[in-house]
Amino acid sequence: MIVDSFDTSKGLMQKNVVIVGAGLVGSMLACYLSKRGHKVSVYEKRPDMRVAGYLGGRSINLALSHRGWKALKKIGLEEAASLIAIPMKGRMIHNLNGTTDFIPYGKEDQAIYSISRGDLNRIMVEEADKLPQVDFYFNQRCQAIDFEKNYLTFNDSMEERFTRAQADVIFGADGAYSEVRYEMQKTPNFNISQQHEPYGYKELSIPAGLKGAHRLAENALHIWPRGSFMMIALPNLDGSFTVTLFAPFCGENSFEHLNTESEADAFFQKYFPDAVALMPAIKKDFFENPTSSLVTVKCYPWKFNNTCLIGDAAHAIVPFYGQGMNCGFEDVKELDEILEVAGDNWEQALQKFQQQRKPNADAIADLALYNYIEMRDLSGRDDFQLRLKIEKRIAAAFPDKFMTHYAMVTFSDLSYAEAMKKGEEQSKLLDRLMQLKDIAQNWNGAEVLKVAEEWLAAHEGNTHFI
């Protein structure tokens, strides 16, 4: 039996915590809990990325935004992350006719940041490993959990043997295909919904130009919206772009019809001619890189006895709102805030954590699914771009009462659930404005603000953000 030791620096009982998963959320959680005085052991099925390099699953660049920055700042990693991040101030829409349209994400000083998943993960593992209360164990795949005795069994892939660990508290931070969650599925009354989307993705690349120059606008997320499919490109520090094609698995313009070089060449030349000119290795990338799937996972409860899921293990989402990592980081920050109040009462803290975060996790999962439709289809339409202009005009005119839906999710502390609710309410106003006579010509006129002001007055109790 494990006996608590008293942490005099915090005035709390030190806990022996096991975290399964040394990814972004797991390594951040290790930093937070160690700084609270707890002994943390992190078990990871992959090799040590500092030695073997990053061997992750999805390698799509991440979009770091407000919620993620706040969590990093609290453990002193904001500056280190900023050194490997590139600001993207808006979407650069690449139309089929070769023209482009830039759509800012928010105000002049607002941006999301392109950042390498592997580089950020390495920084966070290095930071956590500096802490005297944190130990990492790599090549350890979780095989079983005894939830009554808090025992975990791991398969050591390097030494081909089983190891066992015991903890006071266990966290499953091991991603969308969590082995901790799989073990929890065997417990009573555990509910799970796992939805594999009918579309997948393939990673491609645009190499750097001369002297490491970016060959597309550096401070933008590039999108080629084509209705039922799309391609995106995010900038890297070395001047290259990570390019990702998202398309259905089956049907028209799908992966099932791109089996030969001639089929792939015809497809890209037809739909992405401006990008193809910048991608000399497109055929090699397309046929050597895997076609990967996307999954949305919703489950509950996240907690069973002294074990709790967090991050993608609790709520895997598709990447189209750029909030997967940010949501996971916010999980950790909010858990820390709950522990600040709950103190030694971990039962109360974990219970409150799952109740507080579950509605927000469900909300951002639904928003992310909708944003794929927006990115691949709506963003390329004139009427949708007009709608965004009107929305931003209202936000500028009434900053204390109105915020764009994107800003609520990406640049604010408003909960995801509340952001979704407010976005649905405000959509009714935008629907009304889009029906005004000659709105395409008069969107910048006085009538738009007059209608908006009347609507905001009628909904005043639901529209304040400050």
**Does pLDDT of 105 surpass 50?**
yes
Q: How far is CA 1 from the centre of its chain?
A: 38
In sequence order, the β-bridge partners of residue 166 are: 151
**Does pLDDT of 6 surpass 60?**
no
Domains (range + CATH), the chain: 5-57+117-194+294-371 (3.50.50.60), 381-462 (no CATH)
Query: pLDDT-derived band of residue 341, with 50, 70 and 90 as boundaries?
Result: very high
CA pair distance 412, 336, nearest whole angstrom:
19
Q: Please, what is the angle between helix 117-130 and helix 24-35, to 10°?
A: 20
Task: Tell me if the pTM is above 0.75.
Answer: yes
Q: Count CB-CB contacts under 10 A for residue 388.
A: 19
**Does pLDDT of 366 surpass 60?**
yes
Is the Cβ–Cβ distance between 414 and 464 less than 8 Å? no
Query: pLDDT-derived band of residue 322, with 50, 70 and 90 as boundaries?
Result: very high
Report the pLDDT value the prediction gives residue 54, as an integer from 0 to 100.
58
In sequence order, the β-bridge partners of residue 17 are: 40, 169
**Does pLDDT of 463 surpass 90?**
no
CA pair distance 392, 386, nearest whole angstrom:
10
Report the pLDDT value the prediction gives residue 55, as an integer from 0 to 100.
54
Rounded to an integer, the average pLDDT of 216-226 is 97
Is the Cβ–Cβ distance between 93 and 101 less than 8 Å? yes
Q: Which amino acid is at 279?
A: M
CA pair distance 365, 300, nearest whole angstrom:
14
**Does pLDDT of 84 surpass 90?**
yes
pLDDT digits (tens, 9 = 90+) for 74-83: 999 999 999 9
pLDDT digits (tens, 9 = 90+) for 88-103: 999 999 999 999 999 9
What six digits make up the tokens of 465? 């953000």
In sequence order, the β-bridge partners of residue 247 are: 200
Q: Count CB-CB contacts under 10 A for residue 236.
A: 21
Query: pLDDT-derived band of residue 368, with 50, 70 and 90 as boundaries?
Result: very high
Report the pLDDT value the prediction gives residue 129, as an integer from 0 to 100.
96
Considering the chain, what is the average pLDDT of its residues?
A: 93
In sequence order, the β-bridge partners of residue 432 are: none
Residue 198, classed as helix, strand or coil, is strand
Helix boundaries (H) for 24-167: 24-35, 49-52, 66-74, 78-82, 117-130
DSSP code, position 288: H
Report the pLDDT value the prediction gives residue 51, as an integer from 0 to 100.
86
Report the pLDDT value the prediction gives residue 8, as an integer from 0 to 100.
36
What six digits make up the tokens of 440? 């395409």
Q: Which amino acid is at 344?
A: D
Residue 178, classed as helix, strand or coil, is coil
Report the pLDDT value the prediction gives residue 103, as an integer from 0 to 100.
93
**Does pLDDT of 137 surpass 60?**
yes
Check residues 41 and 57 and name the one with the higher pLDDT: 41
Report the pLDDT value the prediction gives residue 61, as an integer from 0 to 100.
85
pLDDT digits (tens, 9 = 90+) for 155-191: 999 888 999 999 999 999 999 999 999 999 999 999 9
Check residues 464 and 40 and name the one with the higher pLDDT: 40
pLDDT digits (tens, 9 = 90+) for 309-320: 999 999 999 999
Torsion-angle region of residue 106: left (phi > 0), alpha (psi -120 to 50) or beta?
Answer: beta
Query: pLDDT-derived band of residue 57, with 50, 70 and 90 as boundaries?
Result: very low
pLDDT digits (tens, 9 = 90+) for 374-393: 888 888 899 999 999 999 99
